[in-house]
Amino acid sequence: MNWSYCRLLALVALALDAGVCHPQEITILTEDQCASCTIEVTPDIVLGTDGESVIGYAVDIQRLSDGRFVMAFDDAPYEFTVFSADGSAYRRVGRRGQGPGEYGHVWTIREHGDRLHVFDRAGMRMTVLERDYEVVGTMPVVCFFCLAADMAVLPDGSTVLNFGVPEGASERDKTPQELMAAERWLTVHIMGEDGQPRLSMDMADRTEGGEPFRHLEIAPDGSLLSARSTEYRIDRWDPATGEHLESVLREADWWPEVNPAFSGGPDQPPPTRMEAMHVDEAGRLWLYINRPTRDWRDHVEIGLPVEGAFRYGPGATEWFVEVVDMEAGRVIVSQVVDVEPGAARFFAPGWLAVYNEDGFPQYRMHRVRLLELEQS
């Protein structure tokens, strides 16, 4: 099927969904790119050179406004680690338990003003800490599946979480089996002070392969942004009402028409995935995409990690970054960036972390900058 025709069908579907979006609220990004701009990735400090501060692969990494880094680890789920800006010192915060300052599995940490919001996925609780890590308060988080793939904090201090809630989950006569079989799931939730979702939005249709994972960000105007991992689509929401304000789409021939969340086999390319979304200080939107390379077939490894299995080896995918001016509705820069081997994560505006176990777990931090080169 013609790609443009598929896009037309998608636009019609959006327009007809009266509860989601109207035709005039769909933005198709233009490619009015800055010819003299380039994205530069440069190595910075290494965290974990002491052999004990980085405890395996991090489930969450953040950079605070004062330059410190924060990491949460699966191998030490009841605490998180705060590193100094230069990586020379660190402090572990938290302990195992259910009391104030205690956690079951720290999953996400977000900064808001002078405070940290810490989500405990196992305990289904949100803890707010002062700068000195003193507990301000703890509240329950009521969620059906507490995966919390991402979290954001609104200007008023309300937290936003990404987890799936089956349509009709609030109805008393719904059984767990009926909920699990629901065809539509709400994926983005603004939490109230009682720990219940105050507003829920961004529906995923499971019958159409809709994936519930969303990347969350706060736009410069205070609106809420959610990005889908298997589509090039950013939705903008009014956090006061839950109203869907805009859908931002991109017509790109490199984004596949059929893009399952998982590969169907070694003869299929790796999925193209939106891996992260950030808003920088200038209000520009950075999108980090992992996509197949042209020669991905040459990097499929058969029989690994076990006989009969396969995996995509190094060189099967590449990192592709786009910088978007949402106000103007245009893509400023599109560029493949060279990232050193290892598990890479774009974790904050202007920052990339690459994990490796060269003797012991550590993270090499990189700065990611948009440069405007002088034209001759």
Confidence of residue 60 (pLDDT cuts 50, 70, 90): very high
Q: What is the pLDDT of residue 210?
A: 67
Cβ pair 347, 61 in contact under 8 A: yes
Q: Is the pLDDT of residue 207 over 70?
A: no
Q: What is the pLDDT of residue 358?
A: 80
Confidence of residue 22 (pLDDT cuts 50, 70, 90): very low
Q: Which of 226, 218, 157, 145 is nearest to 193 (CA)?
A: 157
Q: What is the pLDDT of residue 145?
A: 72
Sign of CA dihedral 370, 371, 375, 376: negative
What percent of the chain is predicted at pLDDT more than 90? 72
235 vs 307, which has greater pLDDT? 235
DSSP letter for 336, please: E
What are 123-146's pLDDT values in tens digits? 999 999 999 999 999 999 988 777
What percent of the chain is predicted at pLDDT more than 70? 89
Two structure tokens written together for 145? 């599946």
Q: Is the pLDDT of residue 93 over 50?
A: yes
Q: Residue 66 in 3-state DSSP?
A: coil
Q: Is the pLDDT of residue 306 over 90?
A: no
DSSP element (H, E) containing 10: helix 3-16
Task: Please tell me the number of Cα atoms within 13 Å of 275 on its side-chain side.
Answer: 19
Place of tokens 């991992």: 229
Place of tokens 């006989």: 307
Strand pairing partners for 365?
Answer: 353
Q: Which of 127, 206, 197, 114 is nearest to 161 (CA)?
A: 197
Cβ pair 135, 129 in contact under 8 A: yes
**Mean pLDDT, range 197-222, rounded to an integer:** 88
**Mean pLDDT, range 90-112, rounded to an integer:** 96
Cα three-residue angle 154-57-81, rounded to 5 degrees:
60
Confidence of residue 185 (pLDDT cuts 50, 70, 90): confident
Two structure tokens written together for 225? 């942004």
**Cα–Cα distances in Å, from 115 out to 132, 157, 363?**
9, 10, 25
| Residues in Cβ contact with 340 at an 8 Å cutoff, skipping those fewer than 6 apart | 43, 354, 364
Cβ pair 229, 261 in contact under 8 A: yes
Q: What is the pLDDT of residue 309?
A: 87
What are 32-56's pLDDT values in tens digits? 899 999 999 999 999 999 999 999 9
Two structure tokens written together for 226? 């959610």
Tell me whether strands 37-47 and 362-372 are parallel, antiparallel or unpaired: antiparallel
Q: What is the pLDDT of residue 113?
A: 95
Q: Which of 196, 57, 214 is nearest to 140 (CA)?
A: 196
What are 224-252's pLDDT values in tens digits? 999 999 999 999 999 999 999 999 999 99
DSSP element (H, E) containing 178: helix 176-180
156 vs 209, which has greater pLDDT? 156
Q: What is the pLDDT of residue 15?
A: 46
Q: What is the pLDDT of residue 294?
A: 95
Query: Distance between CA atoms of 117 and 48, rounded to whole angstroms?
Result: 24
**Cα–Cα distances in Å, from 308 out to 262, 265, 266, 297, 303?**
17, 11, 11, 17, 5
Confidence of residue 8 (pLDDT cuts 50, 70, 90): very low
The pTM assigned to this predicted structure is 0.90
Sign of CA dihedral 353, 354, 355, 359: negative
Q: What is the pLDDT of residue 209?
A: 62
Strand pairing partners for 318?
Answer: 291
Cβ pair 318, 250 in contact under 8 A: no
What are 308-326's pLDDT values in tens digits? 789 899 999 999 999 999 9
Cβ pair 304, 291 in contact under 8 A: no
Q: Is the pLDDT of residue 1 over 60?
A: no
Q: Is the pLDDT of residue 167 over 60?
A: yes
